[in-house]
Structure 1
Amino acid sequence: MAHRNDPEVIARLLTAPGRWAVVGLSQNTARAAHRVAAGLQQMGHPIVPVHPRAEEVHGARGYRTLAEVPGRVDVVDVFVNSRRAGAVVDDAIAAGAGAVWLQLGVVDEAAAARAAAAGLDVVMDTCPLIEVAHLPR
């Protein structure tokens, strides 16, 4: 069965305070992850860059893996291609994240099912900056 995004989950994740780990975020300003992370910060969400280079981005310290991130991560925002998304989702489950958000174009039905079965909220194939425009004002 195909995953269907729940508008109430999307609204809660975007409006409730929460720390977002952005997997795939680097200093490359041409990448969508860079713009989305800035938008998340503007919405009041602290971000944690997760990238093999562990770069500082938007003033936030970077980490190579989710397992290295200290403290709670509320949402893991997945900015990797669909072939790699399942491993990131498994890392999010292992890290005790509350939700996974697979970005626009990132689809892995099996990973979404694993996350949901583990009790995580799941949003897939959309972008927070698109969805925030649909929230009631």
Structure 2
Amino acid sequence: MNHDTYTDDYLAEILRSIKTIALTGASPNPARPSNGVMGYLLSRGYEVIPVNPGQAGKQIQGRTVYTRLADIPVPIDMVDVFRAAEYLDGVVDEAMALKPLPKVIWAQLGVRDDAAAAKAEAAGIKVIMDRCPAIEYPRLIA
């Protein structure tokens, strides 16, 4: 897939079809973008599960933080990646080890790795890069 642009319909369909989001790189600091996006997604009715090894076992916005994707005890529809681009490939590998596979890997603004995206797509996972669901949701859904 060409990751330079996405149609509004494609993004809206993803946002409407998912329910459970694992947010990698979640921060307890309210000043951090990941914290604000987590709060926004929670306010829109998504189940958001924070993932951050340094915060594992603690709470962020009332949700228990997990060390890695494999530790989350429920199926995940989407992995929202708040990590630097060089970590996206590792997040894709973690996501591809899950059963069932997540439907979507969504890499935040500034996060892009075309090779990692191709690997995920070859496994049947949709990939969005360099976009923010908290920007796209109010533009397309709300």
Same topology, TM > 0.5: yes
- Alignment RMSD: 1.6
Equivalent residue number for residue 49 of structure 2: 48
**How many correspondences in the alignment?**
137
Q: Residue 8 of structure 2 aligns with which residue?
A: 7
Change (3 A) 1:5 1:34: same
Question: Which residue number corresponds to residue 24 of structure 2?
Answer: 23
Taking only the aligned residue pairs, the percentage that are identical comes to: 39
Is it true that 1:75 corresponds to 2:54 in the alignment?
no
> Following the alignment from structure 2 to structure 1, what is the Cα–Cα distance between the partners of residues 17 and 2?
26
Identify which of 76, 79, 85 aligns with 2:88. Answer: 85
Q: What is the TM-score with the length of structure 2 in the denominator?
A: 0.89
Using the TM superposition, give the Cα deviation of residue 16 of structure 1 relative to its aligned residue in structure 2, in angstroms: 3.0
1:2–1:12 Cα change, 3 Å: closer
Which residue identity does 1:79 align to in structure 2?
A: F
Give TM-score, length-normalised by structure 1: 0.92
- 2:111 is equivalent to residue 106 of structure 1: yes
Q: Is the 8 A contact 2:18 2:78 kept in 1?
A: no
Q: Which deviates more from structure 2 when the two are superposed, residues 14-23 or residues 72-81?
A: 14-23
C-alpha offsets along residues 92-124 of structure 1, whole Å, 9 cap, x if unaligned? 121121110000010111111111111011111
**CA distance in 2 between partners of 1:13 and 1:37 (Å):** 17
Aligned residue in 2 for 1:122: 127
Q: Distance between the aligned counterparts of 2:59 and 2:141, measured in 1?
A: 33
Look up the SS of the partner of 2:80 in the other structure: strand
> 2:22 is paired with a residue of what secondary structure?
strand
